[in-house]
Structure 1
């Protein structure tokens, strides 16, 4: 329960009481009598009710009170044919209405070849219409082929009909040395000054950002690279607390049960970068950075990535993405297409960075989902139906249906909760609108379309607080959000409510807290819709628990040449123990595929229980130059075709830490290999595999990496099957040229306790 009695400084009390604002500590809990709206219960994969696969999802909230979702051009179901991108809508993230394909053969872009893929749609509202960006994998502009580009289409509603433009927003880009850079995975963004941007790119060429014209259909100025090539794709940018946060996916999207696709984040004070992670490492450098936002946790979902972000009526964020069920990874027909359904989970912001379920990762059990509802008896889709006094019936909207009209003052019939309050409403018209929170005169937000300003103020005794900003020219429905939390009230205007406001104002003061009072809307004639007033959602304050090393069980320190607990598989005679280290020249062979010629030095795993295997390895791979795929690290080895390995590795011009998985799981017996990425690489790395055996007998291995042996990044989890008895060991392979030597300091086993997660059952 929230504390309502506080000891206050006299001056602060006088000022804030006069404006209907009180000061004091807050726990984030809501008062009895002002409950949050009920949340629907969802369970991944959320798209199972209507599709087998729904990849590269994007989402926008329509003015009709539905969430619209879009997906790439895979067959929707096993045995189906590829569609020209898909559309569906939902209100509860459990039941969906499939709306068909974005294009037909008759309406597809004329400048895309007939065999071109149409991938990764991203939808934004710009003015009175909706704009969809998408990937065209092969244009008609160059005879060589494979000249990908970013296309666009417009529609009067989020359900279409979609009309493709006559040419690309971003045309094909020739790569130095031949071929075409991968111009994939577009994502729009509007900044607080009204400037529009478009992010795009993939592994071959990196991620870029360009400014675009006001209509969103023409790139202008010189593009800037914001993420290094051979690392990221699927960019998505949001603005949060004055930071621009770039989230992007990394690793192979589509390797069946060994897919390790994950989402990483960096942030900047500019939408054009540079973006750095929580440790200050750039996303645009050889030893590439990236804070883990979403990665697999050992339940049935792997390869979780290519996401979008949506905000519900309480201000809670959710990440919408695709994943692969490792037990059912492919469409049955045609075989070879990965089955990638759509998933959704809560997105928490911890220490300024996004973390799916506070770092717990994808869920596969019932979870609270996004809500469209409101507190205080308000009917969001029909504001005049109840919840307000003084709210008039507005004109019926072609998209939203029933609306409310504010002429004079409309007040909620019940008081909004004190402290943390979230107000959201769609507004339309040219009359000024005022939204007031707290006891009169309170905190007032003013939207003035004619004067083209967004302002916020308090008034009363003492020093008033004010903030205002200019508005760019806009048309049609706009979304106004006002969020009051301890110490801050923030108001923003956007066209699409996708964390890209075109205007924002903020009031801040220590211990600032809005008091309980009705919310008042005042205007000479503003039309409103989708009005909600709720207790503001609260993010988790700490990350989910991670493994911690306990007592030492056993290990090898390489103090002398005798290593009786270790056994070789394909011994390398050049490897030797000296000066307290195992020095192992990187072999010109690999363990992936059908070769199985690389050496391994293995140790029996401890008895059943939770434990951590750790090594410290030094492998200087330089930077930038190509030395594929030299690597060294830890391996959990059941067979040569069934293993997981964690190491530092050269991947083209980048240096990364990869947690790879090979498994013989294809119906024809072929192996598949993929990898997740964990932390930032360095010449000297500490590597950990935390082990847990499930009730079903599976072996779960979670990867941890460190560049100093003290601060750890914990990432993806791979499962090896029940009935196997993997051994743990070391490897050094992937390419003998140029010559490199991996030096291992130890191989140790520690007790640990596997953190429980109700979403990973």
Structure 2
């Protein structure tokens, strides 16, 4: 729908959401909506806790019965109960998005499996859509391939529609054939996005969404890029994806990012204009780790609650309990990470989606989604007896397997019949319902089905699906004054199947839209300015003219309060000269500043020339058991600090890298570097990445402790890139938290995720230039800053924003 970016709010819907427990000061908490008039429901992540042990790669949809259904990757969901093995594509159900119950598997263990499953395959990454009266569940096969199932209810029984494609590369798309998602454009065209490690592609689907057709387009590429999910908002197509490692326990660097385009085939660009097909890392951060006990947040889907607030659905790994014991799977014995189901508020700020205004994953008590209507009915017990019926027609109850109870409005031949709520509602609000033209008594290709808001006689807003004209029409009337907007429905619009019609009224602006499943994929959108003196006050209801109309899940709720400002990024205090170097003294760095020292001093070391430390890359490494690289070190200050360097780097081939390290010893450090990494699926092509690496002991490995190394990826670097590492000690958790940032002009900083490890020894500030020869790093300076006592944010957090 053409929902306005800064619109649609309710003081009663959401109160402040907070970030818990010793997170970096930069992530003290998101700006809070206005104070709630009542105490709303709350939740705590992970929302699947106590139900299943894990629920990776979640997809979600609201069924026509009004409940929400979530689908997860094949995993050992009942391991803690002593159950061996895995469940294949498990399903959860909830009536409030918070309290979930397990309701079965897409493929029960005893059922036969498709013949096209290769030996040992593990079905992954489901996606769910409602298209022309059927639920379309797609999933990928761990050894390559994407399959389609359809059903008339969210839990099956499922009809196997076969493979879109198998493990063989699809022409024009050099990628791993997994991690698919369907998107339906406003003209009714269905698209399939897919790809993993390292290219994402899109192809049009046939009208019934069962086969690929036409051209395949590459829309994004990057190191470990996967998990595409597309939504449409305000005329833009947003491609969300995850990069870095998804499932490596506390070393998972998964991060959700986004690009947008004015076409579902792209080109998609991030929030700094970097094409998602560029040979670089990308910004556009939606969700990144924040040091609050969850690693690797990612592989997301989107849901919208009854207030119009969007929520991101994703998995993350609890760092205190990240790994399963060895599990027997269809592919043999595997070591798997726990990835439970998480939800969090998704804000749209300046045209870009970001979780909790940039605060990241939540832990501790949070305000829950709005899932209970102030007015309305699911019609499970028929139409409430006190609801007025206007017009000469009839209103009767109906029932079916999927939707359960619903209301049927049957007009007489002379005009319109509507049924409205007995109670009224005022203020800014959101009204939605599932509607369809009844298969019984429909008048051919004519008739209208409408959702009414503020229905006082002819006054109020009416969002109408007009079958005769093939349009969605929004009409807002106040006396003799009327505002109207119309939009064409797709030529193949299935009038006899359920569609979600939603109307949002804020102040003087009213918008309406229709979609198949409410997954931010509108088939038509309209918007008007209200006539003078028009208000939303009044009942809500369903109207029919010229045809019998079915309605279900009619609801009205106050609009959510939009968050319009991001959380403040860290600001720097005074520079600390004793921990900084401008590289003004020519010669060896240790000669110009005695505070520097070496770990493995190179035979021919770097030199300070013309105000920069010039350091050719070494054929050496600082990776797990291979600790051969030289590290130039100096002491770090006590307490929280931020270290910054300006780096010019001319790398051109794989694995050359240079940057900052915060170093305890060879097996315990974080590194922020400009790295040159190969593009796995395109031999000979290399990516310029801002790489944020962590090496430390793996906490769940028995003695002797194994050392692990993992990256996150920052925004795109340039020939000259500014790098920052912010270090904070979480006293309560007893751990270091390190947050990265990068800039291509030294002023506009893009802040990314957080790595943590327990406090043990002293951290020192260092530089590296390593891995492969042939490149030169020029460090213009190293500057270390204290952090302000106020908490290192640009504004003092309110009580509602402080840590739990």
Same fold by TM (over 0.5)?
Answer: yes
* Deviation of the 1:103 alpha carbon: 1.4
Flag the 1:246–1:441 CA change in 2: closer, same or farther, 3 A.
Answer: same
Flag the 1:28–1:396 CA change in 2: closer, same or farther, 3 A.
Answer: closer
Distance of 2:49 and 2:532 partners within structure 1: 46
* 1:446 is aligned to 2:441: no
Flag the 1:759–1:135 CA change in 2: closer, same or farther, 3 A.
Answer: farther
Pairs within 5 Å for 1:208-223:
208-223=201-216
* 1:680 is aligned to 2:683: no
Which among 682, 701, 707 is matched to residue 667 of structure 1?
A: 701
SS in 1 for 2:357: helix
Which among 270, 275, 287 is matched to residue 282 of structure 1?
A: 275
Flag the 1:448–1:616 CA change in 2: closer, same or farther, 3 A.
Answer: same
Aligned to 1:436: 452
Distance of 2:533 and 2:304 partners within structure 1: 24
Query: What is the count of residue pairs matched by the alignment?
Result: 716
Q: Is the 8 A contact 2:8 2:504 kept in 1?
A: no
* Deviation of the 1:704 alpha carbon: 1.0
Q: Is the 8 A contact 1:412 1:519 kept in 2?
A: yes
* Deviation of the 1:385 alpha carbon: 3.3
* Deviation of the 1:386 alpha carbon: 7.3
Flag the 1:551–1:371 CA change in 2: closer, same or farther, 3 A.
Answer: same
Q: Is the 8 A contact 1:253 1:303 kept in 2?
A: yes
Distance of 2:178 and 2:469 partners within structure 1: 40
Which among 489, 492, 511 is matched to residue 513 of structure 2?
A: 492
* 1:412 is aligned to 2:421: yes
Flag the 1:463–1:110 CA change in 2: closer, same or farther, 3 A.
Answer: same
* 1:400 is aligned to 2:403: yes
Aligned to 1:20: none
* Deviation of the 1:509 alpha carbon: 7.8
Distance of 1:603 and 1:512 partners within structure 2: 69
Distance of 1:514 and 1:262 partners within structure 2: 43
Q: Gaps (5+ residues) in structure 2?
A: 1-5, 14-34, 328-333, 411-416, 679-685
* Deviation of the 1:317 alpha carbon: 0.8
* Deviation of the 1:515 alpha carbon: 4.0
* 1:97 is aligned to 2:101: yes
Flag the 1:223–1:759 CA change in 2: closer, same or farther, 3 A.
Answer: farther
With 344-353 and 423-432 compared, the bigger mean Cα shift is at: 423-432
Distance of 2:720 and 2:421 partners within structure 1: 61
Distance of 1:553 and 1:510 partners within structure 2: 61
Aligned to 2:650: 620
* 1:478 is aligned to 2:509: no
Aligned to 1:188: 182
Aligned to 2:769: 732
Aligned to 2:3: none
Distance of 1:568 and 1:388 partners within structure 2: 81
Which among 460, 479, 485 is matched to residue 466 of structure 1?
A: 485
Aligned to 1:556: 581
Distance of 2:619 and 2:662 partners within structure 1: 21
Flag the 1:504–1:381 CA change in 2: closer, same or farther, 3 A.
Answer: farther
Distance of 1:583 and 1:210 partners within structure 2: 47
Q: Is the 8 A contact 2:58 2:73 kept in 1?
A: yes
| TM-score, L = length of structure 1 | 0.89
Which among 764, 773, 778 is matched to residue 743 of structure 1?
A: 778
Flag the 1:509–1:648 CA change in 2: closer, same or farther, 3 A.
Answer: farther
Distance of 1:382 and 1:371 partners within structure 2: 22
Aligned to 1:57: 58
Q: Is the 8 A contact 2:377 2:553 kept in 1?
A: no
* 1:235 is aligned to 2:228: yes
Q: Is the 8 A contact 2:378 2:406 kept in 1?
A: no
Q: Is the 8 A contact 1:570 1:599 kept in 2?
A: yes
Distance of 1:515 and 1:155 partners within structure 2: 38
Distance of 2:435 and 2:39 partners within structure 1: 25
Q: Gaps (5+ residues) in structure 1?
A: 1-24, 139-147
Distance of 1:718 and 1:52 partners within structure 2: 24
Aligned to 1:651: 677
Flag the 1:282–1:37 CA change in 2: closer, same or farther, 3 A.
Answer: farther
Aligned to 2:29: none
Aligned to 1:605: 636
Which among 722, 742, 749 is matched to residue 705 of structure 1?
A: 742
Which among 142, 152, 155 is matched to residue 151 of structure 2?
A: 155
With 35-44 and 689-698 compared, the bigger mean Cα shift is at: 35-44
Q: Is the 8 A contact 1:290 1:679 kept in 2?
A: yes
* Deviation of the 1:620 alpha carbon: 1.8
* Deviation of the 1:266 alpha carbon: 0.6
SS in 2 for 1:257: helix
* Deviation of the 1:368 alpha carbon: 1.6
* Deviation of the 1:720 alpha carbon: 2.6
Aligned to 1:538: 561
Which among 570, 573, 589 is matched to residue 620 of structure 2?
A: 589
| TM-score, L = length of structure 2 | 0.84
Which among 420, 423, 429 is matched to residue 421 of structure 1?
A: 429
Distance of 2:171 and 2:262 partners within structure 1: 31
Flag the 1:663–1:31 CA change in 2: closer, same or farther, 3 A.
Answer: closer
* 1:168 is aligned to 2:199: no
Q: Is the 8 A contact 2:378 2:405 kept in 1?
A: no
Aligned to 2:321: 328
* 1:207 is aligned to 2:191: no
SS in 1 for 2:57: coil
Distance of 2:534 and 2:614 partners within structure 1: 61
Deviations 1:369-426 (A, max 9, x none): 22321114756766723784339442123222222233522233333333x3211111
Deviations 1:179-233 (A, max 9, x none): 97311101001111111111001114x0001110121111110111100153410
Aligned to 2:19: none
Pairs within 5 Å for 1:705-724:
705-724=742-761
Aligned to 1:691: 727
* Deviation of the 1:508 alpha carbon: 5.0
SS in 2 for 1:114: coil
* Deviation of the 1:734 alpha carbon: 2.1
Distance of 2:221 and 2:535 partners within structure 1: 44
| TM superposition outliers: structure 1 runs of 4+ over 6 Å | 34-38, 509-513
Distance of 1:308 and 1:512 partners within structure 2: 39
Flag the 1:483–1:576 CA change in 2: closer, same or farther, 3 A.
Answer: same
Aligned to 1:568: 598
Distance of 1:682 and 1:267 partners within structure 2: 21
Aligned to 2:133: 128
Q: Is the 8 A contact 1:30 1:417 kept in 2?
A: no
* Deviation of the 1:104 alpha carbon: 3.9
Q: Is the 8 A contact 1:633 1:648 kept in 2?
A: yes
Deviations 1:226-264 (A, max 9, x none): 001534100000011111100000001122211110000
Distance of 2:379 and 2:637 partners within structure 1: 58
Distance of 1:160 and 1:462 partners within structure 2: 49
